[in-house]
């Protein structure tokens, strides 16, 4: 439906350009499937943050995926002191290890939620790795990457499903 093509990105724009500490109102998003029945994911904009079972999230907008870790992950990890991230141009493969976050107590590897090429690495994290703890969905983003295969997103969890398992 043509109206969906307009509606979905608009909803995304409204819902996802939110501040660092608020969350997308998923109640509104859950209405969309009934409005956009049969809407495929084959557009450049997927309007939902998706989660891996390894606690990374990816948000695809205009063909670029922003990647970070979940609130549950940052809280469990504790104070992040160092972010070991890839370089611009690195090719990442779905579920492949692409870096690690170091906290006082431990290190935890990062796994690519989708396949693609790194376009940008969050430079703010070099000076302020604690952004991952304080703003894991916003200023604490880790990398931005191209999206080789949008259908990989279909294998990931919606925020609702992720929260059902890992909400505290």
Partner 1 sequence: MMAMGNLGRAVRTLRAVLGPVLGPVAGLQLRLLSSSTQHELKKTPLYEFHLEHGGKMVDFAGWSLPVLYTDSLITSHLHTRSKCSLFDVSHMLQTTITGKDRVKFVESLTVADIAGLKDNQGTLSLLTNDSGGIIDDLIVTKTSDGSLYIVSNAGCMQKDMAHIEERLKVFQGARYDAHMEVMDHALLALQGPAMAKILQPGLNGNLSDLPFMCSIVTSVFGIPDCRVTRCGYTGEDGVEISVEQTNAVQLAELLLNNPDVHLAGLGARDSLRLEAGLCLYGNDISEHTTPVEAGLTWTIGKRRRQAADFPGASVILEQIANKPARRRLGLVSSGAPARQHTAILNKEQEPIGEVTSGCPSPCLKKNIAMGYLPTGCAKAGTPVLLEVRKKLVEAVVTKMPFVPNNYFTGP
Is residue 158 within the footprint of partner 1 (CB under 8 A)? no
Considering only 56, 61, 152, 159, the residue that binds partner 1 (CB under 8 A) is 56
Three-state secondary-structure class, residue 9: helix
Return the number of the residue (11 or 99) whose C-beta is nearest partner 1. 99
Q: How many CB atoms are located within 10 Å of the residue 11 CB?
A: 20
Is residue 98 within the footprint of partner 1 (CB under 8 A)? no
Is residue 77 within the footprint of partner 1 (CB under 8 A)? yes
Task: State the nearest-atom distance from the C-beta of 4 to partner 1, in Å.
Answer: 33
Is residue 94 within the footprint of partner 1 (CB under 8 A)? no
Q: What is the C-alpha to C-alpha distance for residues 44 and 62, in angstroms, rounded to an integer? A: 5
The DSSP code for 154 is G
- Name the phi and psi angles at 94, rounded to 5: -45, 125
Is residue 73 within the footprint of partner 1 (CB under 8 A)? yes
Q: What is the C-alpha to C-alpha distance for residues 84 and 164, in angstroms, rounded to an integer? A: 29
Residue range at the interface with partner 1 (CB under 8 A); choices 10-18, 33-41, 146-154, 159-167: 159-167
Q: Indicate if the alpha-carbon torsion angle 6, 11, 14, 20 is positive or negative.
A: negative
Task: State the nearest-atom distance from the C-beta of 35 to partner 1, in Å.
Answer: 32
CB 141 within 8 A of CB 110: no
Return the number of the residue (44 or 126) whose C-beta is nearest partner 1. 126
Considering only 111, 137, 141, 162, the residue that binds partner 1 (CB under 8 A) is 111
């Amino acid at each position: 439906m043509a109206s969906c093509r307009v509606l979905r990105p608009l909803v995304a724009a409204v819902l996802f350009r939110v501040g660092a500490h608020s969350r997308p109102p998923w109640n509104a998003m859950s209405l969309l499937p009934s409005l956009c029945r049969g809407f495929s994911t084959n557009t450049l904009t997927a309007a939902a943050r998706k989660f891996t079972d390894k606690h990374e999230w990816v948000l695809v907008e205009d063909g670029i995926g922003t990647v970070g870790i979940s609130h549950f992950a940052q809280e469990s990890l504790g104070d992040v002191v160092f972010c070991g991230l890839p370089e611009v141009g690195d090719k990442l493969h779905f579920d492949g290890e692409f870096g690690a976050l170091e906290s006082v107590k431990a290190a935890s590897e990062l796994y690519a939620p989708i396949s693609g090429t790194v376009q940008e690495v969050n430079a703010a994290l070099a000076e302020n790795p604690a952004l991952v703890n304080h703003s894991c969905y916003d200023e604490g983003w880790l990398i931005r990457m191209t999206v080789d295969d949008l259908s990989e997103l279909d294998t990931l969890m919606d925020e609702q499903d992720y929260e059902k398992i890992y909400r505290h």
